[in-house]
Amino acid sequence: MKIAILGGTGNEGFGLGFRWAMAGHEIIIGSRLQEKGARAAASMLERAPGKRISGTDNLSATEAGELVVLSVPYGAQAVTLETVKGALAGKLLVTVVAPTGERASRVWRLPSGLSAAEEAQQQVGDITRVVAAFQNIGAHHLLDLDHQMECDVLVCGDKGADKQIVMQLSEQAGMRGVNAGSLQNASVAEGMASVLIAINIINKAKSAGIRITGI
C-alpha cells in the first residue's frame, strides 16, 4: 500500500512510516516544504535501505497516497487539511493528532466541543473517511524494531472496514489495534494523550502506554 504521511518529518509520523516501510509498504513523507520532505525520506532510507520511501510536499504526497496519515500538531491541522482537501476525496484519512494546550499534561478541551478527529471529518466532508488512531503511543521507541511496544492502539471511526485496515496497520507496526467505537469516541483517546504525558512526567519515564484487558 502507498501510505502518505503528512507531517512525516515529526517523530511519530517518521517512526510509524519507518515501521510500515520495514513491513513492506511504500511510504511517501509529506511536509509543508518539498525539500524538508525529501530530506526526511533520505534519512529514513539510511535506516531502511532498499525500501520504497520518498519525500515531497503535503499535497503531492496526498495525491500519490492510497491511504493518508495526518501527523501534524493540532495547530497545523486546519491549514494542512485545507491544502490537501481536494486530493483526499474518496480516500481514508488516519489522524494521529492529539491536541494539547500550553500545559500538555492537562487535558485541553477544544472550543468546538468536538475531538480533533471530528473537526477533521467536518473539514474534509463525507467524501473522505476519517479514522483516529495512534494518539496514545510514544514515539521514543518506534525506530527500534527490537523494542516491544507496550501500548494498544485505540481505533475510532464510523466504518468497520476502515477500522480493520487501521488495526492491520497497527499490527504491522508492532502493536495491537483495538476497535474503540465511533469517531465520537476519539475525544477520549485524544485526551488520554495528556494523561500519559502527565504519567511520564510524574514517573520520569518516556513511554507510558495503555493496555486493554479482558478481550
In a domain, 213, yes or no: no
In a domain, 36, yes or no: yes
**Residue 138 pLDDT > 90, yes or no?**
no
In a domain, 135, yes or no: yes
Domain harbouring 76, CATH code: 3.40.50.720
In a domain, 93, yes or no: yes
Which DSSP state fits 100? -
For 1-20, how does the pLDDT look when each residue is reduced to its tens digit (9 = 90+)? 999 999 999 999 999 999 99
In a domain, 106, yes or no: yes
pTM score: 0.95
For 78-114, how does the pLDDT look when each residue is reduced to its tens digit (9 = 90+)? 999 999 999 999 999 999 999 988 888 888 889 999 9
Q: Can you tell me the mean pLDDT for 125-136?
A: 97
In a domain, 82, yes or no: yes
The alpha carbon of residue 115 and the mean position of all alpha carbons in its chain are separated, in whole angstroms, by 15
Contacts of residue 72, defined as CB under 8 A and 6 or more positions apart, other chains included, come to 6, 7, 10, 13, 80, 97
Number of domains in the chain: 1
In a domain, 214, yes or no: no
Smallest CA-to-CA distance from 79 within 58, 63, 106, 64 is with: 58
Q: How confident is the model at residue 148 (pLDDT cuts 50, 70, 90)?
A: confident
The residue range of the domain holding 53 is 2-203
In a domain, 22, yes or no: yes
**Residue 68, φ and ψ in degrees, nearest 5:** -120, 135
Q: Are 85 and 91 in contact (CB under 8 A)?
A: no
For 38-73, how does the pLDDT look when each residue is reduced to its tens digit (9 = 90+)? 999 999 999 999 999 999 999 999 999 999 999 999
